[in-house]
Amino acid sequence: MSRLSTPHVLLALCGLLAAPVSAQQPADPTYARSLAATCFTCHGTDGRSVDGIPPSLAGQNRDYLLQQMREFRTGKRPATIMHQHALGYTDEQLALIAGYFAGITPGRATPAPAAR
Amino acid sequence: MMTFKRREFLKWAAAGTGVTALGGCATAGGGGSAGRVVVIGGGYGGATAAKFVKLWAPDIDVALIEMNEYFVSCPISNLVLGGNAQMNQITFSYDGLRKRGIRVMRDEAIAIDAEKRRITLASGGFVDYDRLIVSPGVDFLYEQIPSLNTRDAQMRFFHAWKAGPQTVALRRQLEAMRDGGVFAIQIPMAPYRCPPGPYERVCQVADYFKKAKPKSKILVLDANPDLVSKKGLFLAAWDGLYKGMIEYRPNSEIADVDIKGMTIKLQFDDVKADVINVVPAQRAADIAARSGLITANNRWCGVDWTTCESLAVKGVHVLGDATLSAPAMPKSGSMANQHAKVCAAGVIALMKGQPVNADTMMMNTCYSFVSADSAMHVASVHRFDPAQKTIAPVKGSGGVSKAASQAEGMYAWGWARNIWAEALT
């Protein structure tokens, strides 16, 4: 999947920027990382996918990621599996996850080493 | 690979060679280390936990005790049985973890002394820990099948439910079977490792028979009253792609086997076949049983799902298939991977006196192949519920594929490559 091309400003105008993190959010600074880590299983450690299938999330724009998750939820963006996952997280959690991946330098993961 | 400081390396080397002068290292570890985490078991749970403790807290010393030289993946191993993948595609080394500075010890943990925080190794040495992570997998309840309760018998009727030599051996039996023969698979009562696994195996063997031995049949003897996972999707394959090849018999609990007679004995019936694959019922593996970690039905290890710490033994965390599964949580590689990261974060917080994240989230994604290249999934998202003190599915989330597809076959391989890299790089 290519990175976003939609201008940032357009997303803002559409009111798609995340709401501020709610007051009930746990103070644990590793909370966002732990949430994002649930995505690593399929999308690679820190969102760096081994061969880009499923797509790397590392370094993607935060607002773009959040918009995609919302479109998966509503079905606007068709998916095989992502709508079922997106419905499992709150808006606040999705914002933290998107923020985490936006802060990672993009790249590919090294594949697991073969047996010698 | 010499990323260890010399002093640190000698310390670990001593642990591996039976020199037991490690008592002084049981606490802070010295040399600027924030302490020592030892992981028993290098499967999906243990390897991933070792990696993430080291990744998220490089100042913690991490050792992984694993009895096998290589990691062999259960996911995708059914494709090997179907001839749609090779063993070298599912067999990996632990070199990626070694490169990270994790001490990978090829040995077997035979006892845990939680008072002394000391592990006894089969090779005769000891390893001391500050926190221990046990990801032992499962062992089989062979005592429920008397005639299969000998090593000899187990070399005739394979389970192939731990990928490796058994996978190769069962594949050879299928290859050697005559066209027109019968393959029978016996499925235990849930819960067992990988709920959709037996039904995927049926698809893979059917795919092979359809191509190579079209007169052959498959008999599915399921102890459960119905298919345990992805029922509609598997039945669509059995009634479509493999029409007329598969006979499904629910409520078929095994009583015994007759090895010479090539027979599975059910309560009211004997069933003969040419290749017999018995998947026995399972429990947390021996080291968990020997260490007082089993808390439920003499089979599974109860844990606190915010850290995966054992409910029975403080300072010891348990992961993966060996745990007493939370509601609607499958025993899967995906789930073990998720346990591992929750556990790693929890272990680090506990060792550093930081707050533990109480809002645990976990996600499951399991793909099953119905043919060489077509797959489907089951997915779920789980969140910790403090009132119930367990982790439970989030209402409205999760589900299964509409239909198996080649697109999902591609995603299934993507899942595999990424979860392997998660565990082993």
Helix (H) or strand (E) holding B283: strand B282-284
Integer Cα distance of B14 and B25 in angstroms: 12
As a dihedral over the C-alpha atoms of residue A49, residue A50, residue A53, residue A57, rounded to 10 degrees, the angle is 10
Asked if the domains B6-139+283-357 and B142-280 are classified in one and the same CATH topology, the answer is: yes
Domain coordinates in residue numbering, chain B = 6-139+283-357, 142-280
Q: How many whole angstroms separate alpha carbon B46 and alpha carbon B52?
A: 10
Q: Model confidence at A28, in pLDDT bands (50, 70, 90)?
A: low
Quick one: average pLDDT of A56-66?
A: 98
Q: Is the pLDDT of residue B365 over 80?
A: yes
Evaluate if residue B325 carries a pLDDT over 60: yes
Q: B396: which chain A residues are within 8 Å (Cβ-Cβ)?
A: 87-88
Average pLDDT of the residues in B196-221:
98
Please determine, for residue A109, whether its predicted confidence score (pLDDT) is greater than 80: yes
User: Chain A partners of B349 at a C-beta cutoff of 8 Å?
Assistant: 30
pLDDT of A57 strictly over 50: yes
The backbone torsions φ and ψ at residue B169, rounded to the nearest 5 degrees and listed phi first, read: -65, -40
Q: If contacts are CB pairs under 8 Å, which of residues 57-116 in chain B contact chain A?
A: 69-71, 88, 91-93, 95-96
- For residue A55, give the nearest of A7, A103, A6, A2 by alpha carbon: A2
In which order are the strands placed within the sheet that holds B126-128?
A: B109-113, B118-121, B126-128
For domain A38-109, the question of CATH label 3.40.50.150 is answered with no
Q: What is the DSSP letter of B17?
A: T
Partner-chain contact A38 B341, CB within 8 Å: yes
- Report the alpha-carbon distance of residue B173 to residue A96 in Å, rounded: 51
Q: Mean pLDDT, to the nearest integer, of A44-73?
A: 98
Q: Which of B202, B142, B287, B357 is nearest to A32 (CA)?
A: B357
* Any A CB within 8 A of B397 CB: yes
Q: What is the pLDDT of residues B65-119, one digit of tens each?
A: 999 999 999 999 999 999 999 999 999 999 999 999 999 999 999 999 999 999 9
Task: List pLDDT tens digits, range B2-61.
Answer: 333 434 444 454 444 443 333 333 343 445 689 999 999 999 999 999 999 999 999 999
Q: Could you tell me which of B329, B334, B332, B356 has the C-alpha nearest to residue B343?
A: B356
**Residue B55: C-alpha distances to residues A33, B102, B245 (Å):** 12, 10, 49
Task: Give pLDDT, residue B4.
Answer: 39
Which tokens is A37 given?
Answer: 């880590």
The pLDDT value given to residue B31: 54
Task: Place A27 in a pLDDT band, splitting at 50, 70 and 90.
Answer: low
pLDDT of residue A1 exceeding 50: no
pTM of the entire predicted model: 0.91
Quick check: B319 contacting A, CB < 8 Å?
no
Enclosing H/E stretch for B218: strand B217-222
Interface test with B, best of A41, A85, A92 (most B CBs within 10 A): A41
Mean pLDDT within B110-133: 97
Please compute the mean of the pLDDT values over residues B287-309 and round it to a whole number.
Answer: 97
Mean pLDDT, chain B, whole residue set: 93
- Predicted confidence at residue B38, as pLDDT, reads 98
Q: Is the dihedral of CA A101, A105, A106, A112 positive or negative?
A: negative
CATH class of B142-280: alpha beta
Minimal Cα–Cα distance from B89 to chain A, Å? Answer: 8
> What is the DSSP code string of B85-136?
S-GGGSEE-SHHHHHTT-EEEE--EEEEETTTTEEEETTS-EEE-SEEEE--
Q: What's the fold here for domain B6-139+283-357?
A: FAD/NAD(P)-binding domain (3.50.50)
Two tokens at A10? Answer: 């357009």
pLDDT for A116 equals 80
Question: With the C-alpha atoms ordered B184, B189, B193, B198, is the resulting torsion angle positive or negative?
Answer: positive
- pLDDT of A15 over the 60 cut: no
CA–CA separation, A48 and A69 (whole Å): 18
Q: Considering CB atoms only, which of B91, B337, B356 is closest to A115? A: B91
What are the sequence ranges of the domains in chain A?
38-109
